[in-house]
């Protein structure tokens, strides 16, 4: 009986110790989607990408206008052009369309690659800000989005945004 009592006492002590330790646990929650929308770096990144790819986008606009103009000429003057001239203009228009589609596809791919690079850099900055806030304020555990429920009192998203330069 004495052995059973000692085991019970030990189990009770362990439960009390764990509950006491759990009560001291400081937990935080971060809404990554909100940070990605509101962080100033997101807007900066968008402007940077727009500036970087603007010349290529303008070139595509010029090519689209060129295609439209050629097709307009073919529609208006198609009956008055000789067969060889009409074929040449149709071939030119088709070649420009093919080139346009190729450049458009390459631009989309390059933009996606750069967006992913910028997103990766932003995620690194977010992680560092979360870590900094967590260490500064003594959090034991911080979880990201994907949580079924998190109370507003443990949400540290605004603190992370402040660390990133927002609010």
Structural domain contains residue 11:
no
Question: Whole-model pTM?
Answer: 0.67
CATH of the domain at 134: 3.30.910.20
- How many domains, in total, are found in the chain? 1
What is the distance between the alpha carbons of residues 16 and 1, in angstroms, rounded to a whole number?
Answer: 22
DSSP 44-63: HHHHHHHHHHHHHHHHHHHH
Smallest CA-to-CA distance from 37 within 110, 124, 122 is with 122
Structural domain contains residue 14:
no
What is the per-residue pLDDT across 70-85, written as a single tens digit (0 to 9) for each? 888 888 887 788 888 8
Domain that holds residue 136: 25-164
Q: Is residue 14 over pLDDT 70? A: no
pLDDT of 17: 47
Structural domain contains residue 86:
yes
Structural domain contains residue 122:
yes
What is the distance between the alpha carbons of residues 83 and 100, in angstroms, rounded to a whole number?
Answer: 25
Percent of the chain scored above 70 by pLDDT?
85
DSSP-derived letter for residue 138 is: T
Structural domain contains residue 135:
yes
């Amino acid at each position: 009986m004495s052995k059973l009592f000692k085991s019970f006492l030990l189990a009770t002590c362990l439960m009390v110790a764990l509950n006491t330790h759990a009560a001291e646990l400081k937990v935080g929650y971060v809404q990554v989607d909100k940070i990605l929308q509101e962080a100033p770096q997101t807007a900066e990144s968008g402007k940077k990408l727009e500036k970087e790819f603007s010349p290529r986008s303008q070139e595509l606009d010029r090519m689209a206008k060129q295609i439209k103009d050629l097709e307009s000429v073919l529609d208006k003057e198609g009956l008055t052009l000789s067969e060889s001239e009409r074929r040449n203009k149709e071939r030119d228009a088709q070649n420009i369309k093919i080139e346009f589609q190729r450049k458009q596809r390459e631009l989309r791919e390059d933009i996606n690659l750069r967006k992913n690079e910028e997103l990766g850099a932003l995620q690194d900055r977010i992680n560092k800000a979360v870590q900094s806030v967590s260490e500064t304020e003594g959090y034991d555990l911080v979880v990201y989005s994907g949580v079924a429920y998190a109370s507003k009192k443990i949400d540290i998203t605004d603190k992370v945004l402040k660390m990133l330069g927002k609010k």
